[in-house]
Amino acid sequence: MFGVGNITNVAIMTEIEKITGITKESLRSNLAQSGSRAFAAFQYGMDTSLLLLSGSMLANEKDFTQLKANVRFAPSESHSLSFERAKFEAQRWLLKNSLQDALRVTTGMIEDVRTLCSLAGHLGQQDEKLQAALKEITGKSRTAYLRLSLDARLDRLKQDFGIECAQRGALLSLLKVFNCLQSHGGVVTKADADNGPELVVHLFGISLTPQESAKGDSENGEIHKGVQLHLKQGIKRIPVGQALEFTRGEHMATILSLCIFTSTLLQETDKFLQAAGVGPEAPSK
């Protein structure tokens, strides 16, 4: 069972064992590969969730009853769900599992960032010194880091490397949603709401607006139209004692919010790696 901050890195691991020498280019390349794996995993989770959610829209009570009648053994008839109840619980089950996978990807990415930024303090080292640094960073340091709550891990990234993400609140609130689904059957408790009256969930999305250039670029003066991406934030509030219920759009927004957090994390980390070894106050951890 996962507790707050106890989701560990099982989805993504930087292949540091293949590193024989460290350069900024190699670190940035590893970061790009890690990011690519993360977004591939997010896409998988989004597509499978979309298929299952779209299938639930077509499900009807007749088909459900027929399929149920074809099952010759039921584990506990006294706990059998009605069609409406099963439909409600199925969506929460899907939300719990898709969130679990997406959070594992995100926390794995956070650990990769810690590893790569720590390695940036050993640029140019080789042989014994490099191997000792690799052993420390992927051994005791990693173990100690993964024992921290997720909130504390993010604090360490900011403290050690100056890396922070504007979507941190969304990540932490979605972790609370998962813990509520996992530990409390999806019913919000005071613990989920930090002893407040409700669980506040921060969700991010992207909107598109048409955009026209100020002047046409073509020889005949035609205006070229395009679209501009805008980040938008929403807040969902669930009172203590109420069961979690997300719309299909909100379900997709949970995955998208973690994608946006990861994208910001990648950008900030790349900036750090580009600056590594530059100036008297260069990053050294």
Residue 228 placed within a domain: no
Residue 91 placed within a domain: yes
Residue 216 placed within a domain: no
Residue 96 placed within a domain: yes
Residue 283 placed within a domain: no
Q: Rounding to the nearest 10 degrees, give the CA dihedral for residues 129, 270, 8, 95.
A: -170
Entry field: residues in the chain: 285
Residue 183 placed within a domain: no
Place of tokens 């990053």: 283
Write out the DSSP string of 194-232: TTSSEEEEEEEEEEEEEEE-SS--STT-PPPEEEEEEEE
User: Rounded to two decimals, what is the model's pTM?
Assistant: 0.82
Q: List 238's β-bridge partners, or say none.
A: 199
pLDDT digits (tens, 9 = 90+) for 223-236: 556 666 677 889 99
Are the CB atoms for 172 and 269 separated by under 8 Å? no
pLDDT tens string for the chain (285 positions)? 333 344 444 333 445 555 567 889 989 999 999 999 999 999 999 999 999 999 888 888 998 888 888 887 888 888 889 889 888 899 999 999 999 999 999 999 999 999 999 999 888 777 788 888 888 998 999 999 999 999 999 999 999 999 999 999 999 999 999 999 999 999 999 999 977 899 999 999 877 677 665 555 545 555 556 666 677 889 999 999 999 999 999 999 999 999 999 999 999 999 999 998 654 344 444
b/e 172-190 (16+ beta carbons within 10 angstroms → b): bbbbbbbbbbeeeebebee
Q: Which domain holds residue 133?
A: 16-69+80-166+247-275
Compute the distance between CA of residue 181 and CA of residue 162 in angstroms, rounded to an integer: 33
Phi-psi region of 28 (alpha: psi -120 to 50; beta: other; left: phi over 0): alpha
Residue 5 placed within a domain: no
Phi, psi angles (nearest 5°) of residue 68: -65, -35
Residue 219 placed within a domain: no
**Count of domains in the chain?**
1
Q: List 209's β-bridge partners, or say none.
A: 228
